[in-house]
Copies of this chain bind each other. A is one copy, B any other.
Amino acid sequence: MSLYVKKFGGSSVANAERVFNVANIIVEDYKKGNDVIVVVSAQGDTTDDLIAKAREINPKGASKREMDVLLTAGEQISISLLAMAIEKLGYPVISLLGWQAGFNTDSNHCIARIKNINTERMKNELDKKKIIIVAGFQGIDKYDDLTTLGRGGSDTSAVAIAAAMKADRCQIYTDVDGVYTSDPRKVKFAKKLDEITYDEMLELATLGAQVLNNRSVEMAKKHNVELEVLSSLEKKPGTIVKEKVKMEKILIRGVAKDMDVSIISVIGLKDNPGIAFKLFNALAQNKIEVDMILQSVGRDGTKDISFSVKRSESENAMRTIDSFRENLEFESIKCSNNVAKVSIVGAGMESHPGVASKMFEALYDNQINIQMISTSEIKISVIIDEKYADKALTVVHDKFFG
């Protein structure tokens, strides 16, 4: 007998038919004698509809506390409907709101962090052999006020329950059947992975492969919760996310592209100590997140620094640097928006120095010019012209998996 925590997103419970589909998945594991705790998001567009209602009343100024009161109603509706479907199938079930399930959070409304989970109620209900349906995304603070966990909150709720209840596995059901070596809609030979490490998953998520929310993967890593990403529509094993996986011959786990990139280059910086600190400190103070950084020797004893930011941040970054012009002393500054980042991720590459050259070879063979390179222990990213992004994704992927 095992304890499974299962999480279903909003599209999985969008209408009565899908609610029953989910109910059947739950009941199937319960019938085998397992304990099952389910975390569910708000149905389909419910959250968007509620946000629209709030915008109609107060387009900008609605307080975060009241937003949380409003939005948590969405999961309240979906948990009761899912419980009713399981009742209809004839199995014992109880729905619990975040606070009933013991989710204590801080008071940062709309982006609250879980402080602890009081598992007493959930344990009591499991003792009564009930299937438990928990409202994801929500908790309560020390003032007894409702809070929400922010983006991807239901994934976080599921992992937190799995950790607190020492579940055997936390299963995240989605509309894809697992984690792929690349986007299957773009890359013909993309393969589903049986296993992936937490760190690899984190890198892939950061690179735009948003199957799992990073915060939930970080929490799973911290508490060593075994995750499974699987389909709510097809009945087959998904991808397991855990600390260590069998290496076999696979060096890399995935290839991803990210179009939300701009490169900013500061040319002819005076080569004084602390110049890089001054530059990036100015950006940090304006809350601009910098991803890749490249420093090169410029002409006449100056240096050039290039870095990547999200495209939506590029103007802000340009303005920030320009306003520090006197302090920084540089010749010119330029911004390219028509670039893309292509990355390969895999814990295997650490001990295989040939990985990078294999990637570069694939790009060279296809006449794709590399503008910047950045490497970490488990990732190699290159910046290229955005018009070659899809081609690069395919040729790099096929070099490793073809």
Partner-B contacts on A (CB < 8 A): 16, 19-20, 50, 53-54, 56-58, 61-63, 65-67, 69-70, 72-74, 76-77, 79-81, 83-85, 87-88, 94-95, 97, 100, 121, 144-146
CA distance A88 to B55 in the complex (A): 11
B53–A66 CB distance below 8 A? no
Chain A binding surface, main DSSP class: helix
A80 CA to B56 CA in the complex, in Å? 13
A-B contacts besides A20-B57, A62-B88, A121-B144, 15 pairs, CB < 8 Å: A16-B56, A19-B57, A53-B77, A53-B81, A54-B84, A58-B88, A61-B88, A63-B87, A66-B87, A69-B79, A69-B83, A72-B76, A73-B73, A76-B76, A100-B145
Q: State how many angstroms separate the Cβ of A128 from the closest Cβ of chain B.
A: 12
Whether A80 and B95, one on each chain, are in contact in the complex, defined by CB atoms closer than 8 angstroms, is no
Q: Is B61 a contact of A70 with CB atoms below 8 Å?
A: no
Copies of this chain, whole number: 2
List, in ascending order, chain B residues with CB within 8 A of A63's CB.
83-84, 87
Chain B residue numbers with a CB within 8 Å of A144 are 100, 121
CB distance from A187 to the nearest CB of B (A): 39
Alpha-carbon separation in the docked complex, A56 to B53 (Å): 25
Q: Which residues of B contact A74 (CB under 8 A)?
A: 73
- Cβ B87 vs Cβ A61 within 8 A: yes
